[in-house]
Amino acid sequence: MKKYIVAFNFKNNIVEDDYFNQLVNTEITTIICPTFLQIDVAKQNLKTNYFLGAQNVQLNSKKAFTGEISASNLSKYNVQYCIVGHSERRNYLNESAKQIASKITELLNCNITPILCVGETEQLNDEDSINFINKQVLDIKLNLPCDCFDKICIAYEPVFSIGSGKPCKNEHINKISSFIKNNYNFSNILYGGSVNENNCEKLLNVQHLDGFLVGGASLNFNSVNKILNLLSNSNNFSFK
């Protein structure tokens, strides 16, 4: 039995202000990650059992840093989760493992749970994918000052699946998530890449997954509500 976690990543999209109170009551651990512009409206309108997530955090809180938002300020807005290492930031901003690890440290110091994204950039066989993911994880581990994977949620997001409309095959996700589960002690393992209300039930059959990181489907509250309802009705779901 599982306590599922689903994080909804709005990326750079703004939703209508009434989006937040349209979401269903749910027992699923649900994390809403709007842009910084809507953190406050989300904070005021989300039902009590929802968690607020950010999509980025300042690298080094000791420095004045124009345009950035520190982990301690995220905390003041009740942000309890934060996505780090998303492939879009790794690719377009060249975010390095050292920077990602530094952000993780900032977050952990403020009791915010990092959601660390990893994923191969092109379609590879299972073994090469595992080697790719392992290197990404080890690069983070080497740059972290603590042995703290148990406080980090990992999201496996094969880059070619993101925004493609085609989630990865269950068998492949199973291989990667089993590898992660057997070799590292992350608090939770999520899958991301074109998850929506039509495919999430099938993806739930992957043994070691604890939930999803959802991008595009987040923007429609009906899709979000359907995903949450499907997860709570699943046989594997437990309230604990």
Contact between 95 and ligand PGA (CB under 6 A)? Answer: no
**Residue 116 contacts ligand PGA per CB under 6 A:** no
Which member of 33, 108, 206, 214 binds ligand PGA (CB under 6 A)?
A: 214
Query: How far, rounded to the nearest angstrom, does the alpha carbon of residue 80 sit from its chain's CA centroid?
Result: 12
- State whether residue 206 is helix, strand or coil: coil
Convert 171-203 to b/e letters by CB count within 10 Å (16 or more is b).
ebbbbbbebbbeebebebbbbbbbbbbebbeeb
With CB under 6 A as the contact rule, which of the stretches 29-37, 106-114, 180-188, 192-200 interacts with ligand PGA? 192-200
Nearest-CB residue to ligand PGA? Answer: 215
Q: How far apart are the two ends of the chain, measured CA to CA in Å? A: 9
Contact residue for ligand PGA among 28, 104, 176, 213 (CB under 6 A): 213
Among 53, 85, 192, 211, binds ligand PGA (CB under 6 A): 192
Shortest reach from residue 149's CB to ligand PGA, in Å:
20
The active-site residue, picked from 120, 157, 197, 208, is 157
Radius of gyration of the chain (CA): 17
Q: Are 231 and 30 in contact (CB under 8 A)?
A: no
For residue 157, state whether it binds ligand PGA (rule: CB under 6 A). yes
**Is 86 tagged catalytic?**
yes
Least gap, CB of 86 to ligand PGA (angstroms): 6
Asked if residue 102 lies in contact with residue 140, where contact means CB atoms within 8 angstroms, the answer is no
Binding mask 6-25 for ligand PGA (x = CB under 6 A): ---x----------------
Tokens read off for 183 = 């070799």
Q: Is 224 in the site for ligand PGA (CB under 6 A)?
A: no
The CA–CA distances, whole Å, from 214 to 30, 68, 145, 194 equal 11, 24, 30, 7
**Contact between 215 and ligand PGA per CB under 6 A:** yes
Instruction: Please give the positions annotated as active site.
Output: 86, 157
Residues lying near ligand PGA in the complex (CB under 6 A) = 9, 157, 162-163, 192-195, 213-216
